Amino acid sequence: ALVIPVSSPTMADTVATAPTVELPSSSVVDAPKQKEKRAARADRRQKQALANLPTPCRPGRSQGGGGASPTARSAQQPQQRCHPGSLEDVMRRKGIDEAWSALEEMQDRGVTSDKFSVSRLLMKTVGDARSRLNAPRVYRGIGLVERFIEAQPTDVDEVLFNALLDTCCRLKDLPRLESIAYRMKELKVTPSPVTLGILVKTYGQAGDSQKVLQLWTDMDQQRRSANAVTYGCMIDACVKCGHLGKALEIFAEMKQEGKHKNTILYTTLIKGCGLEKDLPKALELFREMSAEGVPCNTITYNSILEACVKCNDLEAAEGIVQDMLSTACSVQPDLITFSTVLKGYCHSGCLDKALQMLDSIKGRGLHCDELVYN
């Protein structure tokens, strides 16, 4: 069985303890009251920290201890600014929900916040959700970030907008994404290659091939600066929209620029060839990976096996499985590997081979799921 190592938990943040205060012997009986007073004062200081801490790295604040006189400050009535680390400190000590509450309280009080902290807070919220998003929490975050943009329109950048766009992409909320993209254009925030990748990925998920191709054509500057990740988003979007030819065309352009040596790119194209039942091209790409020195992973092998099964070439599928089982191969087959070939045997009426494959699955200690039995 494939043993996946589990990373060890991260070390908790060290919390500094307050120095012990020795009370005179005559005050021992009042110690509990003094502790309560100290705790109350500390709590008040903590609540005021977000609003009162200066931000030397933000414009409008003096780096030294001087600055404008109290009279001048009163006349100018500047907005209060939050220390850049305050939100992240709340998030680290009390969690994401408390950090969003802190940001909301700051906005209610007219205290400006820091775009970098707000971006990280949103990305942390989505990242914590893993495969399943906590929609109410995420939408609350989106709303507060949009409120930040309206309150501080001159203090935004493409990183913040990309965090919003990527969040909408994960939620598959196309109307919200388009609204944010329009606001980004209104504020004249220049999109990056990352922006292009997020947009084509979202429209690819929606199956809007016309919008995918239009974005790829219109965002010429971002396309010319794109890396393998952005290209991968575009190729995946083309495959999802049934434009395998365009995906292969873009991949050919990447080859000319030497950007093509990527496992995910090859695997995506092999999947696309399988969907179009173009097994010769899928096998060509699979063999090309070895020639180009691009490593295969389990998903790559499972994708080429799926293509073989779709095209009813079980002999080719058996050969690939044998290669995986050889000592020379560093990639081990998983349940999907065996169940894909089993499915091919069943579709072809090879019941004896299907039952043998079932025995092989059990013999390797793999747990058969409902898909195998079905």
Biggest alpha carbon distance in the chain? 94
Q: Which residue has the higher pLDDT, 79 or 163?
A: 163
Q: Are the CB atoms for 177 and 183 separated by under 8 Å?
A: no
* Band of residue 82 on the pLDDT scale cut at 50, 70, 90: low
pLDDT in the model for residue 223? 92
pLDDT in the model for residue 269? 96
| Dihedral, CA of residue 313, residue 314, residue 319 and residue 322, to nearest 10 | 150
**Which bin fits 79, alpha (ψ -120 to 50), beta or left (φ > 0)?**
beta
pLDDT in the model for residue 289? 95
Q: Is the pLDDT of residue 52 over 50?
A: no
Instruction: Give the chain's end-to-end CA distance (angstroms, integer).
Output: 22
Q: Which of 68-72, 132-136, 169-173, 321-325 has the lowest mean pLDDT?
A: 68-72
Q: Is the pLDDT of residue 347 over 80?
A: yes
pTM score, whole prediction: 0.72
* Tens-place pLDDT, residues 86-105: 888 888 899 999 999 999 99
Q: Which residue has the higher pLDDT, 227 or 59?
A: 227
* Band of residue 28 on the pLDDT scale cut at 50, 70, 90: very low
* Tens-place pLDDT, residues 288-343: 999 999 999 999 999 999 999 999 999 999 999 999 998 888 899 999 999 999 99
Q: Which residue has the higher pLDDT, 84 or 281?
A: 281
Q: How many other C-beta atoms can be found within 10 angstroms of the C-beta atom of residue 75?
A: 9
Q: Is the pLDDT of residue 68 over 60?
A: no
